[in-house]
Amino acid sequence: MAGLAVLKFSMFSETELNQLYRYCYTLTRDQTSAYDLLHNALEKYLANSQNITAKKAYLQKIIRNLFIDDLRASQRREFVSFDENQDYADFDIQTLESIIINEDMIEKVLALLSPVEREILYFWAIEGFSTAEVAEIMAMPKGTILSKIHRMRIAIKQRFDFDGNDQRGQQQ
């Protein structure tokens, strides 16, 4: 059985496995939980993968579903109300890419975001998918993705200055 597992895992390159781990870490924000999530997803993949053509996408879907299941089970699910009538006219071309995020600030930024926002940020900023592709992957309307990116941008700008300093608690 172990030989079969090695054969099936050889379908994923080390780079792909690292990308999948980063995706898990983006969702969980914890190294141990990310490894556990990836491990569980790979187990499920091994049990159910027959004639799958888009292996990495299939595994990402398994990871996402397992993460959501874990959130539901622990009842830590965070919901953000979405106002359909909100005007997004101030959403300009300048997006999160214009904010320089150094390594020390990444954990602070991820802690500020909800799990859904972290997932959007991962696909959009790290993997380089377009907002339309992110919308397709996450099964959400493109407008919802754009509004969440817009809200993330505002939240990050309000919380941090461009040098990465936390503005919370400072007098303005």
For residue 160, report the phi and psi dihedrals to the nearest 5 degrees. -125, 145
pLDDT greater at residue 11 or residue 10: 11
2 in a structural domain: no
| 110 exposure class (CB count in 10 Å sphere: 0-12, 13-18, 19+) | middle
84 in a structural domain: no
Q: Is 152 in the same domain as 106?
A: yes
**Cα distance between residue 139 and residue 51, in whole Å:** 23
> Which tens digits make up the pLDDT trace of 42-101?
888 888 867 778 888 888 999 999 988 888 777 654 555 555 555 544 444 444 445 444
Look at residue 162 and tell me whether its pLDDT is greater than 80: no
| 118 exposure class (CB count in 10 Å sphere: 0-12, 13-18, 19+) | buried
Q: Is 17 in the same domain as 69?
A: yes
Q: Is 20 in the same domain as 68?
A: yes
Q: Is 57 in the same domain as 106?
A: no
Asked which of 30-34, 92-96, 141-145, 160-164 is least confident by mean pLDDT, the reply is 92-96
CATH number at residue 59: 1.10.1740
34 in a structural domain: yes
The domain of 59 spans 12-74
Q: Is 109 in the same domain as 55?
A: no
CATH number at residue 150: 1.10.10.10
Q: Which of the given ranges, 28-37, 86-95, 150-159, has the highest pLDDT on average?
A: 28-37
**Count of the separate structural domains present in the chain:** 2
**Cα distance between residue 66 and residue 31, in whole Å:** 16
Partners of 160 in the beta sheet?
166
Report yes or no on whether pTM surpasses 0.85.
no
Q: Is 63 in the same domain as 112?
A: no
82 in a structural domain: no
3 in a structural domain: no
CA quadruple 109, 31, 68, 144: dihedral, nearest 10: 30
Q: Is 57 in the same domain as 103?
A: no
139 in a structural domain: yes
Angular region, 110: left φ>0, alpha ψ -120 to 50, beta rest: alpha
> Which tens digits make up the pLDDT trace of 105-148?
777 777 888 888 888 988 888 888 899 999 998 888 999 999 99
| 114 exposure class (CB count in 10 Å sphere: 0-12, 13-18, 19+) | middle
48 in a structural domain: yes
The predicted pLDDT at position 3 comes to: 41
39 in a structural domain: yes
Q: Is 17 in the same domain as 70?
A: yes
The predicted pLDDT at position 102 comes to: 54
pLDDT greater at residue 40 or residue 111: 40
Q: Is 153 in the same domain as 121?
A: yes
Tokens of 101: 């995020």
The predicted pLDDT at position 34 comes to: 92
Q: What does the DSSP 8-state code read for residue 30? A: -
